[in-house]
Structure 1
């Protein structure tokens, strides 16, 4: 259950990042509330996961999902570059988080 909470926290982090971009483009209350809700839920689920999972692994997985997911969403929905080096770097971020879990 804690791993599920951690994955949900990462997905909520991605939502918060997307809403940050949307708020920059269109300042309104809906975008502001969704940004606060996304990051708030992210921290809530991260804290639930950290009750039994080690802090280092939890943080690495959470930031890995958020950073990689934000970059992937930017490529899909906002026309950000989709070059090989960028995809390789995203793969390295995710691989590093998995590697931390494997050696812990």
Structure 2
């Protein structure tokens, strides 16, 4: 169950980062509210997951999901650059997080 909490926390982080991008572009109050709700959701599930998952692994996975997922969502939704270099480094984030899980 803790891993599901961690995945939910990562999805909340992704949503928060995407809402932050939308808010910074539009100054829309709904986006601000969505950002706050997303981050509260994210931190709540991160807290729950870290009750049994080691902090180093849980935080790395949560950050990786948020960084990689947020970048991909912003590339898709806000038409940010879709260069090979960006995809390559996002891939490295994902591979690094998977590697930490297996050696941790």
Please give the residue correspondences for 1:2-21 in structure 2 after superposition, counting only pairs within 5 Å. Answer: 2-21=2-21
Corresponding residue number in structure 2 for 1:96: 96
Corresponding residue number in structure 2 for 1:69: 69
TM-score by length of 2: 0.95
Distance of 2:98 and 2:5 partners within structure 1? 16
* 1:33-92 Cα shifts (integer Å, max 9, x gaps): 111100010000000000000000000000000000011011111111111111110011
Please give the residue correspondences for 1:21-60 in structure 2 after superposition, counting only pairs within 5 Å. Answer: 21-60=21-60
Could you tell me which runs of 5 or more consecutive residues in structure 2 were left unpaired when the two chains were aligned: none
User: Runs ≥4 in structure 1, deviation > 3 angstroms?
Assistant: none
Distance of 1:37 and 1:22 partners within structure 2? 14
SS in 2 for 1:82: coil
Distance of 1:74 and 1:33 partners within structure 2? 18
